[in-house]
A and B are shown apart, each in its own frame.
Chain A
Amino acid sequence: MWLCYATMISFNQTLKPILHRIGSMPVAILLLILLAVASVIGTVLKQNQDQIDYLQQFGPTWYWTFRALGLFDMYHTWWFLAILGLLMFSLFACVLRNAPRFLKEMKSRKGTLSENARKHIMHKFDLTLDDKAKAIASIKTSLPGWKWMETKVTVAGVETLWLRGDKGRFHKWGYILVHISMLVLLIGGAMSTQFGFRGNMAVPEGKTESEISFLKGTSVEYLKMPFEVRCDTFSINFFSTGAPSEFRSTLTIIEDGKEVMTSDIIVNDPLYYKGVRIYQASFGDGGSEVTLKLHRLNREGNIDIAKAQVYTMYEDPYSDVTMEFKDFRPYNIENMAPAGQAKDFKDMGPSVDFVIRGKGLKPVLVRSMMDPFIMDDKNQGSMIMISKTGDARDFETFLLGLDFSNPKEWQLFQSFVGQLPTNKDATKEDNLNAFRAALDEVYPDGRPEDLQMLGMRVLQALKVLPDMPWPFVPMLDDFDQTYYTGLQLAKDPGMNVVWVGSAFLVFGLCIMFYVAHRKVWIKIIDKDDSVTLEVTGLSNRNPIAFEQEFTDLEQQIKDAYEQKKGVTV
């Protein structure tokens, strides 16, 4: 007893004021503003990028300041979560404080209306009918949706009957529901982050994987799944513009060494297994085998074969040059039309990307194409793209002149270079003779068809190839492609709570905005042989719709009364 009393006192004296303060509007608004400002920062400052990029972008001072504040993974910092937590608390306090008042207001219905109040209300009419009992009965029974309450008032010995009708009296539930629903949403969100996980998994075709990786703050963390995922096949369909139309992975779930299910997933259609959803998120090269021909830029002009896998390093045994393979693409569809003209999509064929490094060489990103560039049905020779910054957006295209997919052209070039006169006063005719001799050597059975084009391309090669900084021309020759499928795995125990909260929220908002609390007072005044109904109506919102409804009401009462009268007579 004493304990109970003490708790009451301590609640009233300490907890209640705190609750009131936190549940008050200024605090809530402060929290919402903080949330909004933080959110703006989070969108303007790109989240979860490479730390090195941040360092480059902001410089050391700002980088360390931002990092200390956790701005690079802001939505998971303690202070951001604290704002959300306080908001939750504030909502809770707000509901606790206001809901009882709302409920009380909904219950209390004033049965009468003063003359003075009636004067100021727009919607009213007087109706005189013959039969009091029938009038009351017709009001009470035949007006759909109205809830009626009787009040008897005796003034100076004269008893007056009042009828009060309500429609949409529950509209204050809208406010309560909306605030509770947000509480539910925040609880659901907290459950998701506390008990759920979300991470990525890259599974090459034919391989099995069981670990997901995700970012936590600035570091990458790993989590083992209770099952393994095998990617049986991965396929992509393309539109003719080169844009992917569908990625599809066939996945097999393996648990305790047993295959438990096999299913296809595509974007927008995840797989569900034991509380974990598996989404198709991305795809990429899963370590394709590539074969390159290295055309030596030396006197012999021999061709070496370089075999490598994407994501591995190839070291040239004859020089100190290395190639780090980055990516392989089976298609390269480009719009060949000049800007502003009708588009002309063309597949440029397979390509491989690698970074080439060596002593005294500036490391550059190279894209080597397998097929020659054909324009207007004419072979323009092979193509290589070089990005000096290492960014794929900065690729510059170089036409090498020769078609490296045709080994004879390289032979021709070598033979031509070998026979070129070396003395300074060689004439054009001498050069031409050297070309003819080279042609005779490489094409003993007659000249190739596009001779003129070929000649021009050899000249182009003569201009371009000696400027190459590398000891060889690396050209893609063959490939065996494998993809990896990029999966996202997520477990979200709070999701259903969030949906329940969402449903509440929408429902509550609809009540709040679209249900008007409409009240009608009817004062029934007895006359000698008739009865006068003084009807007054009030609505807390949407006066225009209410005017219509109120006018209808008059008609409805009249109709119902007439009907009642007709039946009994």
Chain B
Amino acid sequence: MTALSMTFSSSGPLFHGRFAHIRCWAYLGMMAGMAAMAMFAGGGYVEDEYIFQLFSMQGATWMAGGAVVGIAYALTTSKEKFRAYRFSEILVPWIDGAVLMVALMGLYTLFEPSEAMITYEDQSNLISGRIVMAMNVFLLFSAITYVAYLIAPAEFIGKLGTMTAWFGVYAGGSALLLRWYESYLLMGGDIGHAPVSNLYEVFIFLFCVICVIYLTLESRHQVRGLGAFVMPIVAGGVFFSIWLESIGQSDIKPLVPALQSYWMKIHVPLNFVGYGSFAVACAAGMAWLLREKIEMKNPDAKVLSVFPSLKVLDQLAYKAVAIGFPAFTLATILGAAWAAEAWGGYWSWDPKETWALIVWLVYGAYLHARFSHGLHGKTLAWWAVLGFLVTIFCFVGVNMYLSGLHSYGQLS
């Protein structure tokens, strides 16, 4: 979501100083207004109605009220407190990106077929499927471009890769939002639910997470060469999700009772922040191993010109794990909290749970190897790569080969 900042940051004051600060607090106030409406507005919080309330006069009033309070606060912060500005400058591009996604989704709804044309039985005319297709194209193109950039490091090609990856993120994110909206159009709104309920949906989410994590690292550390390893992983996922679609997994289906909980919206996305960062760590590990091999053969190889150095790759793999490990831990704990509410116990040694534990142990061991034993380089690079294989099994393999309480992720 820092695409905007990347494009404009050097040029304008849009993302700096007072303006960014005020905008940031307007957003934060607006969010506080939304939360306040959920808590205090008449009738209480009803999940399926809340979204529609937001888009009504009532929602506008609460949000505008919150925004005004936020702006008022921002105006009182003195310029000397430039740490406060910095906080806004970091935060604001992310919220901008989220707002842009919502706006894109709103735009797509204009092209949705008329209500009479939408049926549960035949979902092929829903727009979100087409936007997902566009995302697939962007991401595949980006993968090719990044690889090309590594071989022929022209600035233009690299920028093209970054840009298309961002397009992919925005297409994927807005398509998921649209899918959420579309789920309410089917069967009279009975089956509306967040688009994180089956493999197809979480795959799209995962692509976005991987890309965002990678692109953020790319812009902070100037490591565009790493894209040639991250995006092919995403591209592999894209092919898998195309296959899922071809076997009819892309339909919006009603939720089984066990999934009808607000926990789903928290537990699932957070887990994928973990998986996504482990994917980035894996890419950095692969890059490390390849670079080492090339260096051994020919230290002056042309391909090394934009290839991040071994030290940086080692750092980035760690950074990705440092994002993923706490997120994954929290996701597992929240999953336990959900299980305590739905299944009669916080831990049941269900295959998914057990594999999550194994993944956790693998990355826990990675961190120990790094800090307690000071391991670096080759061992850890392999560790990151193999750790991701374990993660893939936990994410897809368990659903496909083992049955258990998490079996709604299964292909049927």
Contact = CB atoms under 8 A, between A and B. Distances in A.
Contacts of A47: 349
Interface string B313-336: 000000000100110011001001
Residue in B248, B261, B343 whose Cβ sees the most chain A Cβ within 10 Å:
B343
A28 B365 CA distance: 10
A492 B345 contact: yes
B342 A509 contact: no
Contact of B253 (A144, A241, A277): A241
A444 interface: no
Interface stretch (B60-68, B175-183, B352-360): B352-360
A35 B343 CA distance: 24
B336 A247 contact: no
A268 interface: yes
B258 interface: yes
Interface string A374-395: 0000000000000000000000
A413 interface: no
A343 B121 contact: yes
A492 B122 CA distance: 46
B261 A243 contact: no
Given A25-B368, A198-B345, A277-B344, A268 B261 contact: yes
Contacts of B253: 241, 243
Interface stretch (A37-45, A101-109, A121-129): A37-45
A266 B260 CA distance: 10
Interface string B280-324: 000000000000000000000000000000000000000000100
Residue in B329, B344, B355, B398 whose Cβ sees the most chain A Cβ within 10 Å:
B344
Interface string A15-32: 000000000010011001
A417 B326 CA distance: 77
Interface string A340-354: 101111000000000
B403 A46 contact: yes
A259 interface: no
A498 B403 contact: no
Given A36-B361, A492-B346, A268 B257 contact: yes
B257 A266 contact: yes
A75 interface: yes
Instruction: Report the interface size class on chain A.
Output: 35 or more
A510 B326 contact: yes
Contacts of A552: 82-83, 86
Contacts of B260: 245-246, 267-268
Contacts of B349: 39, 42, 47, 75
Instruction: Report the interface size class on chain B.
Output: 35 or more
Interface in A240-284: 240-241, 243-247, 266-270, 277, 279, 281
B376 to A, nearest CB: 15
A509 B341 CA distance: 25
Interface string B182-220: 000001001100000000000000000000000000001
Contacts, number: 130
Contacts of B341: 268-270
Contacts of A492: 340, 345-346
B355 A43 contact: yes
B219 to A, nearest CB: 11
A513 interface: yes
B174 to A, nearest CB: 26
A495 B187 CA distance: 39
Contact of A498 (B325, B336, B343): B336
B349 to A, nearest CB: 4
A43 B345 contact: no
Contacts of A506: 326, 329-330, 333
Contacts of B343: 279, 281, 488
Contacts of B329: 505-506, 509
A534 B111 CA distance: 64
Interface string A214-248: 00000000000000000000000001110111110
B402 interface: yes
Given A39-B357, A247-B257, A495 B190 contact: no
Interface string B99-120: 0000000000000000000011
Nearest to B358: A36
Residue in B325, B341, B349 whose Cβ sees the most chain A Cβ within 10 Å:
B349
B391 to A, nearest CB: 14
B387 to A, nearest CB: 12
Contact of A29 (B86, B220, B365): B365
A189 interface: yes
Given A495-B340, A502-B333, A513-B325, A559 B346 contact: no
Chief secondary structure at chain B's binding surface: helix
Contacts of A189: 347
Contacts of B362: 36
A343 B124 CA distance: 12
A510 B326 CA distance: 7
A536 to B, nearest CB: 21
B358 A240 contact: no
A4 interface: no
B80 interface: yes
Interface in A309-359: 337, 340, 342-345
Contact of A43 (B120, B257, B322, B398): B398
A268 B342 contact: yes
Nearest to A513: B322
A498 B355 contact: no
Given A25-B368, A39-B358, A240 B326 contact: no
A510 B345 CA distance: 26
Interface in A420-466: none
B254 interface: yes
Contacts of A344: 121
Interface string B365-409: 100100011000000000000000000000000100011100000
Nearest to B397: A43
A544 interface: yes
A306 interface: no
B191 A509 contact: no
B351 interface: yes
Residue in B122, B248, B347 whose Cβ sees the most chain A Cβ within 10 Å:
B347
A342 B333 contact: no
Interface string A499-510: 100100110011
A399 to B, nearest CB: 25
Contacts of A544: 220-221
A243 B254 contact: yes
Contacts of A32: 361, 364-365
Contacts of B46: none
Given A267-B342, A268-B341, A502-B336, A241 B258 contact: no
B256 interface: yes
B236 to A, nearest CB: 24
A499 B337 CA distance: 8
Interface in B39-86: 80, 82-83, 86
A38 to B, nearest CB: 9
B358 A281 contact: no
A44 B358 contact: no
Contacts of B191: 239
Interface of B: 80, 82-83, 86, 119-122, 187, 190-191, 220-221, 248, 253-254, 256-258, 260-261, 263, 322, 325-326, 329-330, 333, 336-337, 340-347, 349, 351, 354-355, 357-358, 361-362, 364-365, 368, 372-373, 398, 402-404
The 8 closest A-B pairs by CB, nearest first: A342-B122, A267-B257, A43-B351, A488-B344, A239-B254, A502-B333, A509-B326, A490-B344
Given A29-B368, A40-B358, A46-B402, 11 more contacts: A32-B361, A32-B364, A198-B345, A268-B258, A268-B342, A279-B342, A281-B344, A342-B121, A488-B344, A514-B322, A544-B220
18 contacts: A25-B372, A29-B365, A36-B358, A39-B357, A44-B402, A243-B254, A247-B257, A267-B258, A267-B260, A268-B341, A279-B342, A342-B121, A343-B120, A502-B336, A505-B333, A506-B330, A513-B326, A544-B220
